[in-house]
Amino acid sequence: MRKDFLSFSPPLIGEEEIESVVDSLRSGWITTGPKVERFQSDFQEFIGAPAALALNSCTSALHVALAVLGIGRGDKVVSTPMTFASSIHVIEHVGAEPVLVDVEPDTLNIDPEQVAAAVKRDPSIKAILPVHLYGHPAELDPILDVARAHNLAVIEDAAHSLPARYRGRMIGAPADGGVTNLVAFSFYATKNLTTGEGGMLTGPPGLIDESKMWALHGMSRDAYKRYTAEGSWFYEIKLPGFKYNMPDIQAAMGIAQLDRVLTDQQIAAVVAFLNTLTGTYRDQAVRPAPAAARAGSAVR
């Protein structure tokens, strides 16, 4: 029996994270700045995304995604009831209406056939918000086909999904053309990569550039671009944005954490080890295409 209390999903924090955070504290720059820029760049390269924006939560990333796509009052968004509340809250925050459809019985992910039926019934649907539940990728190809046929955006809730793959493509990397696709990640304390609280939004560079303004009061320049030697104090308010930016202290932790994300080979070794213990472990539903879940929830 343990002598000390086992806390809720304790993160793996080492000297690398501590040193990186202390470096930011000693630098004198603790809000959004060079560490955020590096974290965004490293994360973008790691998953093969077109562009990335660090935010203070996955909820913020989903909210910004809907806002930057212009989804609002009178619009509807198809999603799943098998998710955390924030996936649906953000739809309501922008004034849109969530349309919840049923899930597949084996993965508990949103059912593409139900999505197609809902879109066919209701022309006011403007986007699809699939959730990769417990890190197992939803069946994206048929969802993207529906979106392409009806000119809908796809906003993926990938809170659990680093570093899952779908048909060889890492979640967050660009899908096939013809669909506007944004992907939101979580760095909450229980996730494979944690910054305590935090998130990332990936997608086309143009939308990510506009998302930066949505994430910081609609300002045309952030503090680092205003108050460093190379910057200019001048800025404009372009739109009614939010306060969702990630500070350097969190990004400093994320930079070190990114090196700890398991590779495919390491994940396979974990699954093999679990099978020696139980003989019955399944890495979520067994399907030939999605390389499953790998989120903390899946292998805890």
Is this prediction's pTM over 0.85?
yes
What is the per-residue pLDDT for 9? 73
Q: Is the peptide bond before 163 cis (omega within 30 degrees of 0)?
A: yes
Amino acid letter, 145: D
What is the per-residue pLDDT for 220? 84
Which phi and psi angles does 202 have, rounded to 5°? -120, 155
pLDDT in tens, 195-217: 999 999 999 999 999 999 999 99
For residue 5, what pLDDT band results from cuts at 50, 70 and 90? Answer: confident
Of 5-19, 197-211, 231-245, 267-281, give the lowest mean pLDDT range. Answer: 267-281
- Please check the confidence at residue 176 and state whether its pLDDT lies above 90: no
For residue 225, what pLDDT band results from cuts at 50, 70 and 90? Answer: low
- Please check the confidence at residue 285 and state whether its pLDDT lies above 70: no
What is the per-residue pLDDT for 297? 36
What is the per-residue pLDDT for 288? 55
Residue with tokens 């030939």: 288
Mean pLDDT of 103-113: 96
What is the per-residue pLDDT for 284? 46
What is the per-residue pLDDT for 280? 56
Q: Which residue has the higher pLDDT, 87 or 272?
A: 87
Instruction: Kindly name the residue from 76, 126, 191, 212 that is annotated as catalytic.
Output: 191
Three-state SS letters, the chain: CCCCCCCCCCCCCCHHHHHHHHHHHHHCCCCCCHHHHHHHHHHHHHHCCCCEEEECCHHHHHHHHHHHCCCCCCCEEEECCCCCCHHHHHHHHCCCEEEECCECCCCCCECHHHHHHHHHHCCCEEEECCECHHHCCCCHHHHHHHHHHHCCEEEEECCCCCCCEECCEEECECCCCCCCEEEEEECCCCCCCCCCCCEEEECCHHHHHHHHHHCECCECCCHHHHHCCCCCCCCCECCCCCECECCHHHHHHHHHHHCCCCCHHHHHHHHHHHHHHHCCCCCCCCCCCEECCCCHHHHC
Of 121-135, 237-251, 283-297, give the lowest mean pLDDT range. Answer: 283-297
Q: In terms of Cα–Cα distance, which of 56, 69, 91 is closest to 203?
A: 69
In this structure, are residues 143 and 128 in contact, taking their beta carbons and an 8 Å threshold?
A: yes
Q: Which residue has the higher pLDDT, 235 or 115?
A: 115
Annotation marks residue 126 as catalytic: no
What is the per-residue pLDDT for 269? 75
- Please check the confidence at residue 300 and state whether its pLDDT lies above 50: no
Mean pLDDT of 74-85: 97
- Please check the confidence at residue 58 and state whether its pLDDT lies above 80: yes
In percent, how much of the chain has pLDDT > 90?
73
What is the per-residue pLDDT for 298? 32
- Please check the confidence at residue 294 and state whether its pLDDT lies above 80: no
What is the per-residue pLDDT for 289? 56
What is the per-residue pLDDT for 273? 76
